[in-house]
Amino acid sequence: MLGYDDKRNFFRMMVNSPCELQVNDEESSRTLHAVCKDISATGMSLEVAESSVEVGTQVHVSIDSNSSQIPSLSAMATVVRCEPESESSCVIGVEISEMK
């Protein structure tokens, strides 16, 4: 029997890279520092220092590159999953809607 990860259309690449997350929701517009845990062709997993981020929230993710051979990443995405990591942090899954 196939596990959930085996049903994915794209493989995940583990990155553990610092990134910046601009959140625009009903509460406010704010910028958060996050860690991109993994990325695939259609989404990514991010650990943020917030207790939760509401599913459906639109975010802009920026990951700077330290290499001249690898371009920086800038993407618009939608939060599709939010799992508490601790009292003050959570891991969110986002679906990429547009690469810039």
Query: Which residues have C-beta within 8 Å of that of residue 37, sequence separation ≥ 6?
Result: 14, 15, 16, 44, 45, 46, 47, 91
60-98 per-position pLDDT tens digit: 999 998 888 888 999 999 999 999 999 999 999 999 999
11-25 per-position pLDDT tens digit: 677 888 999 999 987
- Cross-strand pairs, 29: 24
- Cα-based distances in Å from 68 to 23, 29, 94, 99: 28, 31, 26, 19
The pTM for the full model equals 0.83
